[in-house]
């Protein structure tokens, strides 16, 4: 087995041309899939991101493949693509990858679920297993590559979040728990991926509201990590990997990474739900304002970076794009002609309405009626009870 290094965004594994990296921790690589000639075929994110019990990719398809989905981030939000060629220079610039470019795309296909990362970098030749400046893009060539993947070739449209696009991939690599679309660390055009516009301003998917209890344990799991991992992808972090989500009721534990510093590793903060769980947040390259001092909700892209090519059971994190003060879990109850109206903040999608007949040794049961979102409030109209009835909001566990 070859050796790779942990990349700055947990992206890459060793293939015939090895992975991207900005750190110095040696890790075992995972051999990527070779480019196969053939006609483009539609692929699903569900298939592409399938994993085994170790969280390692089980995808065995062939290229080229086509994926359709919505762009979740502007190209400049995650990584700095400014041209910055650095020669190998006998290893003096080892791991200096220069400009990097990245987007996430979430599927919209019926029956499919999840999102996939598309990434590339400038100075592949500065990886030690390459060690040759000929394997890097010059500044001019890199600028051309960035422009190529940032614009629709037919219309010149500059891609941005909310665009519906079609991605044709000629290569991918598995690392850190994700199978990612990339150039397999080669400047050979045969490994290029292309992006074409399907619909401009299609709209971002509504974020799925989750609680930290859905993805993080308060005790170590069987793999020695707090992350909740499910290889079926029906629950835990795998269920939301690469998707737009909202995590409510967070408080920052550390704030030193709440910064637009261009270095990915310098933009990490730690948040908690106040119930013994902690979770990493990544600040974007645009200003989110001062670090929140009170409870807040964070919306962004749910990522995974286990830092390994052989263990993908941990490393979940949130790339933050929006923050808002957390709404209090407050119920409002009012009489209406048809009974009673019960409402609570619409951002609290991870809360369940419950009722009881008495507060003396109460037997709380879930109210199964479906609520509707009205003026930002989850709202239910219930039949007026014949006797006293008590209601509460219970956070999902």
Dump pLDDT digits (tens) for 115-143.
Answer: 999 999 999 999 999 999 999 999 999 99
Which of 28-42, 265-279, 297-311, 382-396 is predicted least confidently?
A: 28-42
Per-residue pLDDT, 397: 56
Percent of the chain topping pLDDT 70: 89
Per-residue pLDDT, 330: 83
pLDDT at 21 over 50: no
Mean pLDDT across the chain: 88
pLDDT in tens, 267-294: 999 999 999 999 999 999 999 999 999 9
Per-residue pLDDT, 38: 54
In order of start, what are the domains of the chain with their CATH numbers? Answer: 32-199 (2.40.50.140), 208-325 (2.40.50.140), 332-395 (no CATH)
Q: What is the mean pLDDT of residues 38-50?
A: 91
Per-residue pLDDT, 9: 41
Which helix (H) or strand (E) covers residue 197, if one does? Answer: strand 194-199
Question: Measured on CA atoms in the order 87, 91, 97, 99, is the torsion positive or negative?
Answer: negative
């Amino acid at each position: 087995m070859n050796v790779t290094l942990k990349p700055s965004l947990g992206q890459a594994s060793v293939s015939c041309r090895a992975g991207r990296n900005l750190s110095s921790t040696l890790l075992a690589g995972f051999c990527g899939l070779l480019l196969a000639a053939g006609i483009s075929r539609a692929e699903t994110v569900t298939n592409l991101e399938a994993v085994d019990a170790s969280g390692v990719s089980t995808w065995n398809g062939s290229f080229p493949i086509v994926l359709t989905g919505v762009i979740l981030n502007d190209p400049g939000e995650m990584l700095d693509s400014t041209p910055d060629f650095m020669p190998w220079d006998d290893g003096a610039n080892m791991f200096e990858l220069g400009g990097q470019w990245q987007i996430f795309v979430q599927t919209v296909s019926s029956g499919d679920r999840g999102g996939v990362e598309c990434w590339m970098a400038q100075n592949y030749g500065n990886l030690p297993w390459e060690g040759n400046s000929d394997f890097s893009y010059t500044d001019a060539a890199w600028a051309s590559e960035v422009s190529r993947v940032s614009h629709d070739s037919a219309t010149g449209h500059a891609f941005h979040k909310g665009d519906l696009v079609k991605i044709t991939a000629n290569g991918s690599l598995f690392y850190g728990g994700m199978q990612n679309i990339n150039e397999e660390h080669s400047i050979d055009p045969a490994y290029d991926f292309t992006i074409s516009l399907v619909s401009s301003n299609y709209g971002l998917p509504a974020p799925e509201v989750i609680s930290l209890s859905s993805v993080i344990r308060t005790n170590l799991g069987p793999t020695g990590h707090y992350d909740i991992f499910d290889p079926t992808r029906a629950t835990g972090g795998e269920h939301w990997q690469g998707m737009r989500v909202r995590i409510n009721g967070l408080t920052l534990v550390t704030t030193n990474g709440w910064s637009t510093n261009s270095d990915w590793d310098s933009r990490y903060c730690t948040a908690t739900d106040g119930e013994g769980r902690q979770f990493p947040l990544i600040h974007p390259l645009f200003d989110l304002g001062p670090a929140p001092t009170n409870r807040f909700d964070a919306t962004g892209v749910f990522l995974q970076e286990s830092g390994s090519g052989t263990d993908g059971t941990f490393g979940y994190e949130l790339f933050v794009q929006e923050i808002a003060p957390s709404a209090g879990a407050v119920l409002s109850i009012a009489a209406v002609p048809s009974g009673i109206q019960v409402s609570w903040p619409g951002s609290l999608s991870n809360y369940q309405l419950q009722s009881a007949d008495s507060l003396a040794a109460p037997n709380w049961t879930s109210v199964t009626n479906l609520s509707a979102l009205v003026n930002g409030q989850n709202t239910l109209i219930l039949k007026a009870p014949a006797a006293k009835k008590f209601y509460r909001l219970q956070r999902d566990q």
